[in-house]
């Protein structure tokens, strides 16, 4: 049996410039989300697929999950599925207050309990770790609904499509 080194698996699959470009490139919806989140076991879920509006190849999938027992525990994430054989990568995850998070690559010294955003980092890939291991605390949102709006802006989803599929409470009232 051949055992691959971690370098062979990870290094140079994505560099930081590519990662940032994939997160920030303009996107539109190719497979829309459900109007409402649906129950799946003990959690609520919604999903959608995106494609880039520029010349970026491949597809993106978005997952939205919220715990049924503890609604403050949620995650909204963007996964990139490349057209080539590099393998998919989780680019961003906006998390709720699920429990402790234990620092970035090689840094076990910063456990915290706050809302936080995982973002793919080349340094994590180079270390053979999960791309999105590195996370930072955020005060950009304080609920699932706010996190969705923050996420849509972060991944640069078309504003019109964002308003149609994820209206804020104010927008919902205005358009009722």
Partner 1 sequence: MDLLENLKTDFNRHVSFREKRPGIVQVLAPLFHEDGDMIDIFLDLPQSPAEPIRISDHGLTLMRLSYGYDVDTPTKHRILARILAENRVSEEGGRFFVETTPERVYPALLQFAQTVAKVSNMQAFKREVVHSLFYETLGDFVQSTLAAYQPGEHYLPIADRDDLEVDWRFATEPRNIFLYGVRDSSKARLAALACREFQLRNVPFRSVIVHDDFENGLSKKDQARITNAADKQFTSLGDFQANAERYFAREVQAIN
Query: Which residues contribute to the site for partner 1 (CB under 8 A)?
Result: 2, 40-43, 45, 63, 65, 67-70, 73, 75, 77, 79, 83-85, 87-88, 90, 93, 95, 98-104, 111, 113, 118, 129-130, 132-135
Minimum distance of partner 1 from residue 145's CB (angstroms): 18
Please name which of 71, 47, 52 lies closest in space to residue 144, comparing C-alpha atoms.
71
Write down the number of H helices and E strands in the chain. Answer: 6, 10
Minimum distance of partner 1 from residue 139's CB (angstroms): 19
Nearer to partner 1, 52 or 94 (CB): 94
Nearer to partner 1, 83 or 174 (CB): 83
Nearer to partner 1, 41 or 173 (CB): 41
Contacts 24+ apart (CB under 8 A), 98-105: 98/67, 98/70, 98/72, 98/73, 98/74, 99/73, 101/135, 104/133, 104/134, 104/135, 105/129, 105/133, 105/134
């Amino acid at each position: 049996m051949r055992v691959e080194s971690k370098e062979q698996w990870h290094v140079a699959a994505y560099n930081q410039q590519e990662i940032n470009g994939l997160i920030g490139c303009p996107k539109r919806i190719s497979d829309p989300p459900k109007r409402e989140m649906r129950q799946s076991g003990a959690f609520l879920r919604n999903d959608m697929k995106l494609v880039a509006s520029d010349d970026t190849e491949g597809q993106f999938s978005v997952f939205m999950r919220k715990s049924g027992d503890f609604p403050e525990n949620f995650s909204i994430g963007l996964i990139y599925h490349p057209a080539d054989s590099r393998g998919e990568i989780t680019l961003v995850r906006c998390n709720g207050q699920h429990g402790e998070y234990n620092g970035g690559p090689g840094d076990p010294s910063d456990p915290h309990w706050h809302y936080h955003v995982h973002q793919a980092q080349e340094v994590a890939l180079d270390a053979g770790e999960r791309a999105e291991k590195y996370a930072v605390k955020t005060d950009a949102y304080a609920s699932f609904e706010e996190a969705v709006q923050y996420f849509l802006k972060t991944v640069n989803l078309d504003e019109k499509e964002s308003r149609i599929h994820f209206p804020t409470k104010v927008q919902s009232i205005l358009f009722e």
